């Protein structure tokens, strides 16, 4: 039987996912392939170049962004984060509550249903900062009177407009930035480098402890997928389940940045030890029943070993990357199921 942690939602969230998914896909790779043992000192070397000493709150500071150096002259008091889940989470861990510019067709209420750990991490939710083309709206951002703007990625022409409002930071390549580098860079920008080191150390310790509890899954493989209405399974790439990778598992379904479809006829390709099946608004119960009834499905290793986790929107979003608040929220929900799995059992 499935180890089911699916929670039913109303159809309103489905609309949220259509919109939120576009932004989430840009954030899914924020942790790259780096384990918790990555040193925070390496992160600092790769991400930042401070124009001050290492002591906290010593301004001005400079970090390297997508379009050159970004200098903050004094401690920012009104930070705006546009679309970046991870930066809001990381800033909250540093004791900062930014204004969060994010567009969701279901509004803030449905956004929080899909990402409940985000509640209380920001001072204000502002959907007007995202335009109809899913790009930052500089005019709307300016109304918040920010003294620091943070994004995951941005076109250069929009970056130039935002930079006229306030110092604007976006990394050169979101997919190559580790969670440690993200926290280190943000710590520099807000004058809390020592606090950033503490957050990284605490999070790495939490991840190491969690891995020790999952000795049964070290080196195990997994496939993360959703079931489509066209009798196919859509496999998600490794960056969409970064937490599982950091906890010792390997996504063997597809390659980086590659969403792959597998027909029911070729279901034997899903030969991983563990399945992470996206349920809820990702796929219908009818479609999942069709998959489960397909010849050969019951013989797959994960199915035979009761190693199928059906997860809803919130769980799927939370395991996509390492974020302090997301970890605190999701680990108690998935650990009981993960601990029960016996890889290779018949």
Assign 82 to helix, strand or coil: strand
**Is the model's pLDDT at 24 over the cut of 60?**
no
d(CA 196, CA 186): 8
Q: What is the pLDDT of residue 104?
A: 80
Residue 7 domain-assigned (yes or no): no
Strand ranges, E, within the chain: 3-5, 61-65, 68-72, 79-82, 99-101, 124-126, 148-151, 168-169, 221-227, 232-235, 250-251, 260-263, 274-278, 308-311
Q: What is the pLDDT of residue 259?
A: 81
Q: Same domain, yes or no, for 66 and 148?
A: yes
**Arithmetic mean of pLDDT, 308-320:** 93
Rounded alpha-carbon distances, angstroms, from residue 153 to 67, 88, 134, 136: 11, 15, 12, 10
d(CA 131, CA 345): 51
222-278 per-position pLDDT tens digit? 999 999 989 999 999 888 888 999 999 999 877 766 789 999 999 999 999 999 999
Instruction: Please state whether the predicted TM-score (pTM) of the whole model is above 0.85.
Output: no
Residue 346 domain-assigned (yes or no): no
Q: Same domain, yes or no, for 168 and 253?
A: no
Q: Same domain, yes or no, for 168 and 243?
A: no
**Is the model's pLDDT at 282 over the cut of 80?**
no
Burial of 27-65, coded b for 16+ CB within 10 Å and e otherwise, reads bbbbbbebebebebeebbeebbebeeeeebeebebbbbb
Beta bridge partners of 150: 81, 169
Q: Same domain, yes or no, for 207 and 225?
A: no
d(CA 334, CA 332): 6
Q: How confident is the model at residue 6 (pLDDT cuts 50, 70, 90)?
A: very low
Higher pLDDT, 139 or 33: 139
Structural domain count, the chain: 2
Residue 329's CB is within 10 A of a number of other CB atoms, namely 18
Beta bridge partners of 262: 233
State the CATH number of the domain containing residue 298. 3.40.50.1980
Residue 292 domain-assigned (yes or no): yes
**Arithmetic mean of pLDDT, 38-57:** 43
Residue 273 DSSP class:
S
Q: Same domain, yes or no, for 326 and 307?
A: yes
**Arithmetic mean of pLDDT, 31-57:** 43
181-238 per-position pLDDT tens digit? 999 999 999 999 999 999 999 999 999 999 999 999 999 999 999 999 899 999 998 8
Residue 314 domain-assigned (yes or no): yes
d(CA 187, CA 94): 7
Q: Same domain, yes or no, for 259 and 162?
A: no
Residue 56 domain-assigned (yes or no): no
Mean pLDDT, the chain, whole residue set:
85
**Arithmetic mean of pLDDT, 78-106:** 95
104-138 per-position pLDDT tens digit? 877 899 899 999 999 999 999 999 999 999 999 99
Q: What is the pLDDT of residue 255?
A: 72
Q: How confident is the model at residue 346 (pLDDT cuts 50, 70, 90)?
A: low
Beta bridge partners of 63: 48, 70
Higher pLDDT, 22 or 133: 133
Higher pLDDT, 339 or 282: 339
Q: Which domain holds residue 199?
A: 61-211
Q: How confident is the model at residue 309 (pLDDT cuts 50, 70, 90)?
A: very high
Cα torsion 60, 84, 170, 258 to 10°: value is 150
Q: What is the pLDDT of residue 285?
A: 87
Q: Same domain, yes or no, for 190 and 262?
A: no
Q: What is the pLDDT of residue 345?
A: 56
Q: What is the pLDDT of residue 319?
A: 94
Q: Same domain, yes or no, for 103 and 154?
A: yes
Tokens found for residue 333: 């929900």
Residue 256 domain-assigned (yes or no): yes
Residue 27 domain-assigned (yes or no): no
**262, 232 in Cβ contact below 8 A?**
yes
Residue 11 domain-assigned (yes or no): no
Segment (H or E) for 213: helix 193-213
- Pairing type for strands 99-101 and 79-82 reads parallel
Q: Same domain, yes or no, for 265 and 241?
A: yes
Q: What is the pLDDT of residue 323?
A: 94
Q: Same domain, yes or no, for 157 and 127?
A: yes
Q: Residue 282 half-sphere exposure, CB side, CA atoms within 13 Å?
A: 26
User: To 10 degrees, what angle do helices 179-189 and 85-93 make?
Assistant: 60
């Amino acid at each position: 039987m499935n180890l089911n942690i699916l929670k039913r939602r109303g159809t309103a969230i489905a609309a949220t996912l259509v919109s939120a998914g576009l932004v989430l896909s840009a954030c899914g790779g924020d942790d790259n392939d780096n384990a918790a043992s990555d040193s925070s000192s390496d992160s600092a070397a790769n991400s930042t170049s401070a124009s001050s000493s290492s002591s906290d709150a010593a301004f001005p500071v400079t970090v390297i962004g997508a379009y050159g150096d970004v200098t903050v002259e004094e401690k920012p008091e009104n930070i705006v984060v546009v679309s970046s889940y991870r930066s809001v989470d990381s800033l909250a861990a540093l004791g900062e509550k930014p204004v969060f510019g994010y567009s969701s067709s279901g509004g803030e209420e449905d956004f929080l249903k899909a990402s409940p750990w985000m509640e209380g991490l920001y001072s204000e939710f502002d959907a007007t900062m995202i335009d109809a083309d899913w790009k930052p709206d500089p005019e709307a951002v300016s109304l918040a009177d920010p003294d620091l703007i943070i994004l995951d990625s941005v076109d250069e022409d929009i970056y130039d407009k935002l930079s006229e409002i306030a110092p604007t930071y976006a990394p050169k390549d979101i997919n190559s930035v580790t969670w440690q580098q993200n926290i280190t860079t943000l710590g520099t920008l807000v004058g809390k480098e020592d606090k950033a080191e503490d957050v990284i150390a605490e999070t790495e310790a939490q991840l190491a402890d969690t891995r020790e509890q999952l000795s049964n899954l070290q080196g195990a493989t997994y496939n993360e997928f959703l079931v489509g209405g066209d009798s196919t399974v859509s496999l998600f790439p490794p960056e969409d389940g970064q937490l599982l990778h950091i906890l010792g598992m390997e996504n063997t379904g597809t390659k980086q940045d590659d969403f792959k479809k597998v027909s029911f006829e070729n279901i034997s390709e899903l030969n991983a030890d563990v399945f992470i099946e996206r349920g809820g608004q990702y796929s219908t119960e009818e479609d999942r029943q069709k998959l489960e009834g397909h010849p050969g499905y019951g013989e797959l290793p994960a199915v035979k070993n009761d190693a199928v986790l059906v997860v809803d929107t919130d769980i799927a979003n939370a395991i996509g990357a390492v974020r302090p608040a997301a970890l605190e929220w999701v680990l108690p929900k998935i650990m009981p199921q993960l601990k029960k799995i016996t890889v290779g059992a018949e």
